Structure 1
C-alpha cells in the first residue's frame, strides 16, 4: 500500500471520468443530475460533499497536518519515519505553505506513504465565497498538483473547518470527500514551548472522548518539535494505530487521487 507513487498512474488510467465542471451561480438542485455526476467523479464508497470527522476502522487514529508544505515539513516527515507512522497532509497552493515552491517535499511526502489532500489554493474561509470562487480555489490547486504529480486528491479539508451548504454542494459536484476533525489541537494558539502542553492536553481529552481524526499543523515550529512526539507516544500507549485518513476510513489508496474529471 505504501509504494503508492509507481502505482498511481496505472490505477488512475483505469478510471473513466466525465468532463463535468460546475457552472452557474448556485448549486445544481436536480437530484438525478447531481447523483449521476457524483457517480462519474467518485469510485469510493465514501460520501462526497459531507463532513467526515471520525475513523470507521476500529483501533485507528489519523494524524492530519494542515497548511503545508512549509519549512518544518521535512522535520515532521523525519519524525513520522522514525515512528513508522503514516499521516495525512492537507496542502495549500499559495499561502504560508506553497506546493509550487516545494515540489520535492510534496513528492517526498507521497513517496513515504503519507496521504495528500487539498486545503484550497490560498486558504480563504470558504463560507465567505461564492460557488464559482469556491470552485476556483479547488481547481487552481488541482492544476498545480497535476504539474507536480500528474494527479490530484479526492480528499479536502475546508480552511478553519468552516463550511455552508454552498461549500458542501461545490465539494459534492467536484467529487471531494470533506474531512473535518474530532480532535482539534489548536496548536496555532500554543506555538511556543511554554504553552504547547495546552494543545497536548486538549489532544488527550478529545482522544479519550472518542476523537479519532486529529487536526494539527506542520507550519508551526513547536508542533513539530514538541507536540508530534507527545501525540505519537500517547497513541502508542493507547495501543492505537496511527494511519492515513483514507486508511482509517477503509478507503483503498487507489481512491485517494484522480488524473482528471
Structure 2
C-alpha cells in the first residue's frame, strides 16, 4: 500500500451506537501482547464518513483533566464521539479509569492511539507491538475489552504498522479529513476554531484534542509554553451549531459503515473489568514520545 502521512488523504467507516454499558458483544480472548495475537484480518483505512448528514467528532491524546467536562458536554447534547487514547502522554491512563468506564458505558467509541504518542514510522516491529499492546493491556484491565480501532499518532503509518495491526486483529485505522488546529504550536483562538466548523461539509471526520499543551525549547535553552486549547472550550458552541445544520454526531464506526454500527465490532471482550492493583501504573513504562 502507499504510505500516506497527509491528514487529508485518509479513508473511512459508519455505525449504529449501542449505549448499553455492557452490551458490547465480542469474542473472548486472552491478553497477549506478542505479535501472534490472532490470525491476520483485513484492515480498513479511512478518513471520512459515508453516512449521509453525519459528522464524526474525534478526540485524541486523552484521557486528561478535561475528560469529565468533555463527557458532560456530549451527554447534555446527546452527541456521540470517538476517543483515541494514549497510555502515558498527557496523563496516565490508569489515573482516569473511571472516565474511560463512563465513556464506554455511554456508547462512545474508544480506540487505541499508542502508549506514548510516538512516531510509529521510527519504530521497529517489536516497538510497535509494545506501544499498541500496552494500551490494549490497560483497556482490558479497566474495561475488560481490547480495542479494534487504531489511530496512528500524527497520522503517520507505513506497511510495517499496517501488518502489525492486522496481526493484532484490528478492524480499522482511522485518520481524519479536517484538523481543528487545536494542537498547533500556536493554535488559533477558540472563536476561530468554532467559526471554522461552520465551513465543514457533512461526512467529515474532525480531529480534536482533549487538551494540548505544546512546549518547545527556544534559543538560550529557555522553555516556552504555548497556550493550550481544550476541546471543552469549543464544543459547547460547536455541537449546537452542527445540529442546526441537520448533522448527526456519531462514532467513526457508524459514520463510515452500516456493518460497523454495532459497538460489538469495536472491541473484543476478554473478561470482566479488573480491580486496581500495583500493575495499574505508568511508572517504569515509556514516557511521552519514548519508544
Q: 1:87 aligns with which of 62, 81, 84?
A: 81
Match of 2:208 in 1: 216
More RCO (CA 8 Å, sep 6+): 2
1:5 aligns with 2:21: yes
1:121 aligns with 2:115: yes
Q: 2:39 aligns with which of 37, 40, 46?
A: 37
1:1-261 to structure 2, matched below 5 A, reads 1-8=17-24, 11-13=25-27, 21-22=34-35, 37-39=39-41, 47-48=42-43, 50-176=44-170, 177-189=172-184, 195-205=189-199, 207-208=200-201, 212-220=204-212, 222-249=229-256, 250=258, 251=260, 252-259=262-269
Structure 1 unaligned regions, length at least 5:
24-35, 40-46
| Inter-CA distance 241–199: structure 2 relative to 1 (3 Å threshold) | same
Structure 2 unaligned regions, length at least 5:
1-16, 213-227, 271-291
Q: Distance in 2 between matches of 1:116 and 1:162?
A: 19
Identify which range, 226-235 or 239-248, moves more after superposition: 226-235
Instruction: Give 1:201 shift.
Output: 4.0
| Count, aligned residues | 234
Secondary structure in 1 matching 2:70: helix
Deviations 1:17-47 (A, max 9, x none): 9989427xxxxxxxxxxxx9234xxxxxxx5
| Inter-CA distance 20–80: structure 2 relative to 1 (3 Å threshold) | closer
The answer to whether the 8 A contact 2:54-2:250 is kept is yes
TM-score w.r.t. the length of structure 1 is 0.80
TM-score w.r.t. the length of structure 2 is 0.73
Identify, as 1 or 2, the structure richer in helix: 1
The answer to whether the 8 A contact 1:91-1:116 is kept is yes
When the two chains are superposed, the root-mean-square deviation of aligned CA atoms in Å is: 2.6
